Amino acid sequence: MARAFGHRPRIELFLFILAVSWNPAAAEIAPISDQPCNTCIRIRVGLPHVVRGPAADMADNRFTEIQIPGGGFRGFDAHGDTRAIDGRSPGDMGGPERTVLRPGKPGTYDACGQWLNHAELIGTTVIGFIHDETACKYQLGQTHKSMSLAVSIDYGLTWNSLGQIITGTDDPTANKNTGEGDCTGINGQDGYYYAYCFRPRDGALIVARAPVSSQRPGNWMKFFQGKWEQPGLGGEATRLMNGSGVSAARWTTTGQTVLTGWVKGGLGLFLSRDHTTLTPLPEPLLAVDPREWKRPAPSELIFYPVILDATTGANQLANSWMLVYAYMQPNEGSNRKYLVFRDVTVSASDTPGSPQVGVLLARWYDAALHDRWSTTAAVPGNDTIYRLEAQSGYLMTVAPTGQPSSELEDCVSAHPGHLDHLLAKKGFCEAHAYQRLRTAGWVYVRQETNTQPLYQCYSDTEHSHFAANRPDCDGKGQMETLLGYDLIQ
């Protein structure tokens, strides 16, 4: 079925979609805890896997996926156009791709591209939330964003546009980003779909909603000054928070909306019971240094983060999640982007706990380079060039309150001609001619409950530093110093 650019589909298909889109089970209001305890949530971020890359023309959207008949999964990556990728599991997205959406005709709202930001499977029909751009002059920092809705009856291989659902109040403007877009959609399980979107003119996150029974253009209303009364097409909207790096999901355990977003110290999580009041978790999900979009740069770049369920691939989350994001390494250009998946395990209790968040410290080994790399970051070539050798516990993403701790840095040196990655206390790298790559995380100075020693080690035979939990350095080198105590689990 060919896509009709900028036009409504045949009336028969439109009526069919309206009929199948009403799902009483999906619209049933799920129970929500009266007072969810955000400080009672425990999160452990697991091993990162580089799934795709490096490449320039990829990872330019909020990754989304659906289940397909036969037990497989179909993911959607985009870079102006949108490509489908089939895999056997939600994390198996490294296979061949095929283009399923392309830029529209000149002068249309999608003339510069179509990015599928969220795919919602309803029965055998897929609803697509599509980010569109027009009037683009990217070299001048100019584009105009909007959102449209499309439907597919072959699991995302061909699409029919229903038209625009969200537009801004401004017009295309020279040398500026305008409009509203970059939205992710969720079923709130309260009778409405919600779209959380970015507004470039003030960097805001805004939200609109439409009934589950009818998401067609004209039925979307923006939240403005406490009411859902402004039209999705051209209406005003209240700024909820900074909209950069935001994507939305729903945590079925508590019924809360879960949003990614940037907080002091890195990538954070925000929770909401009413879809508009957003409360950040006290600790970042990942410790990330200030980002620099102009590449190459000495810092890494994490962007377009989304959270999906690890079992279903959808954004209705149980307690096993996948954090998916686009990634650039320090000192590399924008022509070397990666798509990274990492498991996230979440649990909720009745009592607050600290630390809330821990990020896995892994040790990788490149036999050809004789280099061991202890890091919390994604390692390009994982399980091919660098192979996983050990998991060394979890680092905290922020210094604990009221307890002495040490910040650890991930560094590298080629002096004297041999690559050597080093995990060290903050300040050591610069003083010893190592190049800082990133903040790795924090460890306790003293042993606490649920902690273990973490040592800095060195191999004389391979001229390589690494970290280990045993004073004998797992038999691979000699212990140099105690870095501190990291989390066992």
- Please state the domain extents for the chain: 11-31+38-348, 357-487
Give the mean pLDDT of 39-62. 96
Q: 26-41 pLDDT, tens per residue?
A: 333 344 445 678 999 9
Q: Place 59 in a pLDDT band, splitting at 50, 70 and 90.
A: very high
Strand ranges, E, within 153-282 = 160-166, 177-179, 181-187, 192-199, 204-211, 221-224, 227-231, 241-242, 248-251, 256-263, 266-272, 279-280
**Mapping DSSP to helix (H, G, I), strand (E, B) and coil, where does residue 18 land?**
helix
27: its two tokens: 């619209």
Q: What's the rounded Cα separation, in Å, for the pair 25 and 417? A: 63
**Mapping DSSP to helix (H, G, I), strand (E, B) and coil, where does residue 26 land?**
helix
Angle at 157 between CA 194 and CA 127, to 5 degrees: 15
Q: 181-199 pLDDT, tens per residue?
A: 999 999 999 999 999 999 9
Q: 357-401 pLDDT, tens per residue?
A: 999 999 999 999 999 999 999 999 888 899 999 999 999 999 999
**Mapping DSSP to helix (H, G, I), strand (E, B) and coil, where does residue 278 land?**
coil
Q: What's the rounded Cα separation, in Å, for the pair 487 and 442? A: 10
Lowest mean per-residue pLDDT among 286-290, 429-433, 453-457: 429-433
Q: Place 291 in a pLDDT band, splitting at 50, 70 and 90.
A: confident
Checking if the pLDDT of 408 tops 80, the result is: yes
357: its two tokens: 């968040």
H-run or E-run covering 19:
helix 11-21
Lowest mean per-residue pLDDT among 161-170, 412-421, 431-440, 443-452: 412-421
Average pLDDT, the chain: 92
**Mapping DSSP to helix (H, G, I), strand (E, B) and coil, where does residue 37 land?**
coil
Q: Count CA atoms within 13 Å of residue 399 on its CB side.
A: 10
pLDDT given at position 416:
74
Give the mean pLDDT of 280-291. 95
Q: 343-359 pLDDT, tens per residue?
A: 999 998 889 989 999 99
In 3D, which of 487, 401, 387 has the Cα closest to residue 441?
A: 487
Q: Considering the domain delimited by 11-31+38-348, tell me its CATH architecture.
A: 5 Propeller (2.115)
Checking if the pLDDT of 24 tops 80, the result is: no
Pairing of strands 248-251, 316-317: parallel
pLDDT given at position 414:
75
410: which strand partners? 423, 438
Q: Place 13 in a pLDDT band, splitting at 50, 70 and 90.
A: very low
Checking if the pLDDT of 271 tops 90, the result is: yes
Is the distance from CB of 89 to CB of 337 less than 8 angstroms? no
pLDDT given at position 35:
63
Q: What's the rounded Cα separation, in Å, for the pair 284 and 303? A: 15
Q: How many residues does this entry show for the chain?
A: 489
Buried b / exposed e over 203-226, threshold 16 CB at 10 Å, is ebbbbbbbbbeebbbebbbbbbee
Is the distance from CB of 239 to CB of 204 less than 8 angstroms? yes
Instruction: Quote the pTM value.
Output: 0.92
